[in-house]
């Protein structure tokens, strides 16, 4: 990140936001005092490690159509979605399937992080190692990624973050990333399950007819050996002749739909825009 300090979009006039790098104020999540339609843009201001918690509507439109066609002949299919971020994509796929499902697991590595408020400033902490990853005031959002940043912004960001209080679970506020509409849906419909799951760990629930993995298994994040390990875990979670859909969203939506054959190998069923970048690893 070349500019680890961003302007708080909420407190500046529109003309400023058109010139400078701005982000929405994630402190809105602390009180849930936000308009539901703004949820995705608010969450998109959060960066944890190498990952922005960003998404957008119709991001997997072509891929979801492939899923609907593939599952058409299966009554009440079980589906596992890995790496759902906020769960907006889960809502869209559920709508496409017209709720004709057995169970639908919407999963990610974690669905929350923490905040500690000190006056008008909020410090945000990593959900696992409890390290301070963001500082937010009325004026600026400060991020921990200072490598290769423009001077003196890296020094300023580092100095701001060192002011963070030590993490204290008793005073920290736990903040959910999950889209409120998906949470309400899972409360009402017990077939829809929101839970944390690591793609590199074995799936401990019942096997599924289809697994959807979007913007997780790619060479930007992981080495080939790690991707291959995840694919083996995925195989163990699939029913015979089950489907695996892998999506890459960069300049455009690219995806590959694989079928697990009786010999334990995946074969490509269909591609979108040339398919995903790791077809060679999946089909090995």
Q: Please, which residues bridge with residue 135 across strands?
A: 123, 142
Same domain for 36 and 149: yes
3-state secondary structure of 254: strand
Model confidence, pTM: 0.92
The reply to whether 192 and 269 lie within a common domain is: yes
Please tell me the total count of domains within the chain. Answer: 2
- Do 201 and 95 fall within a single domain? yes
Do 41 and 119 share a domain, yes or no? yes
- Residues 6 or more apart whose CB falls under 8 angstroms from that of 141 comprise 5, 6, 7, 8, 23, 25, 26, 45, 134, 135
Pair 252, 264 in one domain: yes
User: Do residues 88 and 182 both lie within one domain?
Assistant: yes
Alpha-carbon span 206 to 196, nearest angstrom? 15
On whether both 210 and 275 belong to a single domain, the answer is yes
**Among candidates 111, 166, 109, 122, which has minimal Cα distance to 31?**
122
pLDDT tens sequence for the chain (284 residues)? 578 999 999 888 888 777 888 999 999 998 766 788 889 889 999 999 888 887 778 889 999 999 999 999 999 999 999 999 999 999 999 999 998 999 999 999 999 999 999 999 999 999 999 999 999 999 999 999 877 777 888 889 999 999 999 999 999 999 998 999 999 999 999 999 999 999 999 999 999 999 999 999 999 889 999 999 999 999 999 999 999 999 998 889 999 999 999 999 999 999 999 999 999 999 98
């Amino acid at each position: 990140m070349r500019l680890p300090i961003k302007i708080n979009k909420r407190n500046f006039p529109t003309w400023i936001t058109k010139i400078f790098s701005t982000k929405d104020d994630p402190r809105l999540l602390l009180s849930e005092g936000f308009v539901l339609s703004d949820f995705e843009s608010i969450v998109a201001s959060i960066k944890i490690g190498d990952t922005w918690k960003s998404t957008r509507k119709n991001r997997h439109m072509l891929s979801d159509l492939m899923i609907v066609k593939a599952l058409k002949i299966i009554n009440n299919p079980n589906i596992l979605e890995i790496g759902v971020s906020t769960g907006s994509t889960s809502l869209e796929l559920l709508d496409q399937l017209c709720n004709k499902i057995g169970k639908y697991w919407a999963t990610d590595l974690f669905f929350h992080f923490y905040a500690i408020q000190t006056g008008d400033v909020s410090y945000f902490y990593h959900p696992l190692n409890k390290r301070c990853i963001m500082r937010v005031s009325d004026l600026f959002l400060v991020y921990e990624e200072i490598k290769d940043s423009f001077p003196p912004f890296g020094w300023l960001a580092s100095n701001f973050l060192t002011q963070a209080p030590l993490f204290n679970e008793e005073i920290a506020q736990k903040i959910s990333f999950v889209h409120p509409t998906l949470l309400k849906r899972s409360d009402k419909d017990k077939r829809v399950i929101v839970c944390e799951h690591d793609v590199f760990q074995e799936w401990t629930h019942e096997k599924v007819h289809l697994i959807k993995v979007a913007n997780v298994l790619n060479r930007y994040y992981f080495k080939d050996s790690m991707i291959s390990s995840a694919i083996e875990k995925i195989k163990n979670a699939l029913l015979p002749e089950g489907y695996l859909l892998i999506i890459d969203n960069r300049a455009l939506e690219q995806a590959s739909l694989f079928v697990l054959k009786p010999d334990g190998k995946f074969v490509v069923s269909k591609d979108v825009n040339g398919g995903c970048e790791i077809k060679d690893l999946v089909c090995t």
